[in-house]
Amino acid sequence: MNLPSCTACPRLAAFLAESRTRYPGYFCKPVPAFGDARPRLLIVGLAPGLHGANRSGRPFTGDYAGVLLYETLHAFGYANRPVSVAADDGLVLSGCRISNAVKCVPPENKPETSEIKRCNAFLKAELAALPNTTALLALGLIAHKAVLMALGLKQSGYPFGHGVVHILPDGRRLYSSYHCSRYNTQTRRLSPEMFRAVFQRIQEDSPCP
C-alpha cells in the first residue's frame, strides 16, 4: 500500500472524499509522519483530527491536542518553536518524529478496530526503519496497542498505563502517556506537569547527545 493514495479502509476513504467536498482547502489525505528521519524519539498518536492534521497535513498541527504536545517538545529541545499552526510555519523537529496509529481522519475521531489493524502495516514499516535505539512514546491506549501490534507483541505482556515504561525484546523502551486531547487536558486527567514528567523520564533514560 502507498500512503498518499491509500483507500484500503472504505469508511475512511468515503469520509475523506466527503471532507474534500466540504473543506476544499484542507489536506484531506492520509497524513504522513513528521520530523527527524533518524529520531531518538518516535511519538505515536491516535489519528488526524478533522480540523487539525486533516486540514494542515501535519500530525497534531492546528489541533487542540497539539498545543500541549508542541509546547512540551519545545521545552525539551525537540522543536524549534512551541506552537504548530500550519505545515509551512517553519517548525522543525530535531531528534523526534511524530506519527499516528491511523493515518486518515476517522468520523468522530473514532477509528474502528479493523481500520487500526489495516493501517498497522504503515506503522510497522515506520518502526522497522528506525534505529534500534529509538525510544517510543505512545499517546493513549489505542496508540499503545498499535505499537505492540506493529512489533508483533502481545498487550498482556506490556500493559498500558500513564508514565509506564516497558523494555521491549529488542532493547527499545516503550513509554506510555494519556493522550494530550482536549478532553484529557480540560478534565485534568492529564496535566502539563504529568506530561512533562514523561518526557523528563525519557531524557533521563536517554540523554541528548
Domain annotation covers residue 24? no
60: left (phi over 0), alpha (psi -120 to 50) or beta: left
pLDDT of residue 104: 97
pLDDT of residue 146: 98
- Tell me how many domains the chain contains: 1
Domain annotation covers residue 18? no
pLDDT of residue 207: 58
Distance separating the N- and C-terminal Cα atoms of the chain:
36
Domain annotation covers residue 19? no
Give every residue of the chain whose pLDDT is below 50, as ranges: none
CATH number for the domain that contains residue 130: 3.40.470.10
Domain annotation covers residue 160? yes
Q: What is the pLDDT of residues 98-116, one digit of tens each?
A: 999 999 999 999 999 999 9
57: left (phi over 0), alpha (psi -120 to 50) or beta: left
pTM: 0.96
**C-alpha dist (Å) from residue 205 to 87, 167, 208:** 31, 11, 10
pLDDT of residue 58: 97
Domain annotation covers residue 7? no
Residue 186 belongs to domain spanning = 33-205
Closest residue by Cα to residue 168 from 122, 114, 130: 130
Q: What is the pLDDT of residues 149-161, one digit of tens each?
A: 999 999 999 999 9
**C-alpha dist (Å) from residue 123 to 48, 90, 91:** 14, 26, 23
